[in-house]
Amino acid sequence: MASHDVVELLTQQHVRIRSLFEEVANTKGEERAQHFHDLVRLLAVHETAEEEVVHPFARKNIDGGELVVKDRIEEEEKAKRVLSQLDDMDPDSPQFLDRFTSLREDVLAHADNEERYEFAHLREVADKGKLENLGRAVKAAEAVAPTRPHPGADTAVKNVAVAPVATFVDRTRDAIRKVTGT
């Protein structure tokens, strides 16, 4: 049976995030736009699930949780702002690549910080059952998060306006709150 352990799930998502960053950096044109689009959705779902499910638990339960979580949330807020800016840019412009490269460094450092200062300590304060309950909530978040039509996808969705990143994140949060009952 697939694991529901929240630390495993989020660490696996970090691996997917890392490889999507690579795909965006190593492609061009339409292909890059598609990978970037996938990255926006995954980051929105991942960071929002952390904010709604994992950070509140860590804040209360790990040593120095208040400070650890405060720093992580600041990193996440910054990443979302940059993601919004990138979303409005031409993915083939040098400006996009510059900003994208610094976002990539920041987000990967953020993920390392989470693994080291937050996730490792979750294992110390939460038993297997609790880690699995948190993991189930993260899975539910991924399942209910809205999709964003691909840019330039087939004609059926061509006329659907793509929601700005901030709106998309809001909708993701609303969907997650519904399933987690918060």
* CB of 69 or CB of 86, closer to Fe ion: 69
* CB of 33 or CB of 131, closer to Fe ion: 131
Residue 138 CB, nearest distance to Fe ion (Å)?
Answer: 10
* CB of 47 or CB of 52, closer to Fe ion: 47
Alpha carbon distance 83, 166 (integer Å): 9
Q: Are 41 and 145 in contact (CB under 8 A)?
A: yes
* CB of 6 or CB of 33, closer to Fe ion: 6
Residue 72 CB, nearest distance to Fe ion (Å)?
Answer: 6
163 phi, psi to nearest 5 deg:
-65, 140
Query: Would you tell me how many other CB atoms lie within 10 Å of the CB of residue 127?
Result: 8
Residue 87 contacts by C-beta under 8 Å, 6 or more apart in sequence?
A: 36, 40, 164, 165
Q: What is the DSSP letter of 141?
A: H
Residue of 6, 33, 41, 50 interacting with Fe ion (CB under 5 A): 50
Q: Which of residues 106-125 bind Fe ion (CB under 5 A)?
A: 114
Residue 148 CB, nearest distance to Fe ion (Å)?
Answer: 19
Q: Which residue has the tokens 């993701």?
A: 172
Q: Are 55 and 69 in contact (CB under 8 A)?
A: yes
* CB of 33 or CB of 176, closer to Fe ion: 176
Residue 97 CB, nearest distance to Fe ion (Å)?
Answer: 23
Residue 21 CB, nearest distance to Fe ion (Å)?
Answer: 13
Q: How many residues bind Fe ion (CB under 5 A)?
A: 3
Specify the stretch interacting with Fe ion by CB under 5 A; choose among 41-49, 81-89, 92-100, 138-146.
41-49
- What element of type H or E holds 82? helix 65-87
Please identify the residue of the shown chain whose CB is closest to the bound Fe ion.
50
End-to-end CA distance of the chain: 28
Q: Are 52 and 182 in contact (CB under 8 A)?
A: yes
Chain positions contacting Fe ion, by CB under 5 A: 47, 50, 114
